[in-house]
Structure 1
Amino acid sequence: MGVSNRITATLNFIALLCAIPIMSAGIWLASKPDNECIRSFRWPVFILGLLMLFVSLAGFIGAYFNKQGLLALYLFCMAALIILLLVLLIFAFTVTRPGGSYAVPGRGYREYRLDGFSKWLRDYVRDSSNWQNIRNCLADSDTCPKLTQQYMSADQFFFAYISPLQAGCCKPPTVCGYSYVNPTLWINPVNTGADPDCLLWNNDQNLLCYNCNSCRAGLLGNLRKEWRRVNVILIVAVVILIFVYLVACSAFKNAQTEELFRRYKQGWV
Structure 2
Amino acid sequence: MAMSNNVIGCINFVAVILSIPIIGAGIWLLNGEADSCVQFLQWPVIILGVLILVVALAGFIGAFFRVSWLLIVYLVAMLVLVILLVSLVAFVYMVTLRGHGNIEPNRAYLEYRMDDFSGYLRRRVRSSFKWDRIRSCLSQTNMCAELNQGYRMAQDFFNARLTPMQSGCCKPPTQCAYTFVNPTYWISPINTAADMDCLQWSNDQTQLCYNCDSCKAGLLANLRKEWRRANVILIITVIVLIIVYLVGCCAFRNAKTEDLFRKYKQGYT
State if a TM-score over 0.5 links the two structures. Answer: yes
Work out the CA distance in 2 between the residues paired with 1:17 and 1:76: 19
Q: Do residues 92 (structure 1) and 85 (structure 2) align?
A: no
In structure 2, what is the equivalent of residue 54 of structure 1?
A: 54
In structure 2, what is the equivalent of residue 45 of structure 1?
A: 45
Q: TM-score, normalised by structure 2?
A: 0.93
Work out the CA distance in 2 between the residues paired with 1:119 and 1:166: 23
SS of match in other structure, 1:39: coil
Alpha-carbon distance, 1:43 to partner = 2.2
In structure 2, what is the equivalent of residue 220 of structure 1?
A: 220
Alpha-carbon distance, 1:100 to partner = 4.1
- Whether the 8 Å CA contact 1:36–1:42 is kept in 2: the answer is no
In structure 2, what is the equivalent of residue 211 of structure 1?
A: 211
Structure 1, unaligned runs of 5 or more: none
1:201 alignment partner AA:
W
Work out the CA distance in 2 between the residues paired with 1:108 and 1:241: 41
SS of match in other structure, 1:34: coil
Alignment deviations for residues 243-262 of structure 1 (CA, whole Å, 9 cap, x no partner): 11111112112112222233
Work out the CA distance in 2 between the residues paired with 1:40 and 1:188: 39
Structure 2, unaligned runs of 5 or more: none
Work out the CA distance in 2 between the residues paired with 1:100 and 1:198: 22
In structure 1, what is the equivalent of residue 251 of structure 2?
A: 251
- Whether the 8 Å CA contact 2:179–2:188 is kept in 1: the answer is yes
In structure 2, what is the equivalent of residue 156 of structure 1?
A: 156
SS of match in other structure, 2:102: strand
Work out the CA distance in 1 between the residues paired with 2:47 and 2:147: 33
In structure 2, what is the equivalent of residue 200 of structure 1?
A: 200
The equivalences for 1:185-196 within 5 A come to 185-196=185-196
Alpha-carbon distance, 1:90 to partner = 1.5
Alpha-carbon distance, 1:81 to partner = 0.8
- Whether the 8 Å CA contact 2:18–2:241 is kept in 1: the answer is no
Work out the CA distance in 1 between the residues paired with 2:153 and 2:61: 60
Alpha-carbon distance, 1:154 to partner = 2.3
Alpha-carbon distance, 1:38 to partner = 1.2
Q: TM-score, normalised by structure 1?
A: 0.93
Alpha-carbon distance, 1:266 to partner = 3.8
Alpha-carbon distance, 1:200 to partner = 0.2
Alpha-carbon distance, 1:12 to partner = 2.0
Alpha-carbon distance, 1:268 to partner = 9.5
Q: Against the structure 1 CA distance between its residues 188 and 49, is the aligned structure 2 distance closer, same or farther, given a 3 Å change threshold?
A: farther
Work out the CA distance in 2 between the residues paired with 1:42 and 1:165: 19
- Whether the 8 Å CA contact 1:112–1:164 is kept in 2: the answer is yes
In structure 2, what is the equivalent of residue 111 of structure 1?
A: 111
1:259 alignment partner AA:
D
Work out the CA distance in 1 between the residues paired with 2:179 and 2:268: 89
> Which moves more between the two structures, 146-155 or 228-237?
146-155
Work out the CA distance in 1 between the residues paired with 2:149 and 2:230: 30
Provide the aligned C-alpha RMSD in A: 1.9
Alignment deviations for residues 112-151 of structure 1 (CA, whole Å, 9 cap, x no partner): 0100111121122111211111111111222222222233
Work out the CA distance in 2 between the residues paired with 1:24 and 1:85: 15
Work out the CA distance in 2 between the residues paired with 1:47 and 1:185: 43
Alignment deviations for residues 143-198 of structure 1 (CA, whole Å, 9 cap, x no partner): 22222223333233221211111111111111111122222111232442511100
1:2 alignment partner AA:
A
Work out the CA distance in 1 between the residues paired with 2:205 and 2:78: 49
Following superposition, which runs of at least 4 residues in structure 1 exceed 6 angstroms of deviation? none
In structure 2, what is the equivalent of residue 12 of structure 1?
A: 12
Q: Do residues 139 (structure 1) and 143 (structure 2) align?
A: no
2:29 alignment partner AA:
L
Alignment deviations for residues 49-69 of structure 1 (CA, whole Å, 9 cap, x no partner): 222222222222222222211
- Whether the 8 Å CA contact 1:100–1:217 is kept in 2: the answer is no
Alignment deviations for residues 199-250 of structure 1 (CA, whole Å, 9 cap, x no partner): 1000111111111110111011011111111111111111111111111112
- Whether the 8 Å CA contact 1:169–1:209 is kept in 2: the answer is yes
Work out the CA distance in 1 between the residues paired with 2:151 and 2:48: 39
> Which moves more between the two structures, 246-255 or 38-47?
38-47
1:195 alignment partner AA:
D
Alpha-carbon distance, 1:105 to partner = 1.8
Q: For this pair of structures, how many residues does the alignment match?
A: 269
